[in-house]
Amino acid sequence: MDQSFPLIGSRFPEMKVTTTHGEMNLPADKAGRWFLLFSHPADYTPVCTTEFVAFQKRFAEFQALNCDLIGLSIDQVFSHIKWVDWIKDTLKVEIQFPIIADDMGLVAQKLGMIHPGKGSNTVRAVFIVDDKGVIRIMFYYPQELGRNMDELLRAVKGMQTSDAHGVAIPAGWPNNELIGDRVIIPPAKDVQTARKRQQEYDGYDWWFCHKKL
Q: Which residues are catalytic?
A: 48
Q: Are the C-beta atoms of residues 44 and 86 closer than 8 Å to each other?
A: yes
**C-alpha–C-alpha distance, residues 133 and 27, integer Å:** 6
Q: Exposure of 139 by Cβ count < 10 A (0-12 exposed, 13-18 middle, 19+ buried)?
A: middle
Residue 50's CB is within 10 A of a number of other CB atoms, namely 13
**C-alpha–C-alpha distance, residues 25 and 71, integer Å:** 14
> What is the separation, in whole angstroms, between the first and last Cα of the chain?
47
Sorted by sequence, the CB contacts under 8 Å of residue 168 that are 6+ apart come out as 162, 183, 184, 185, 186
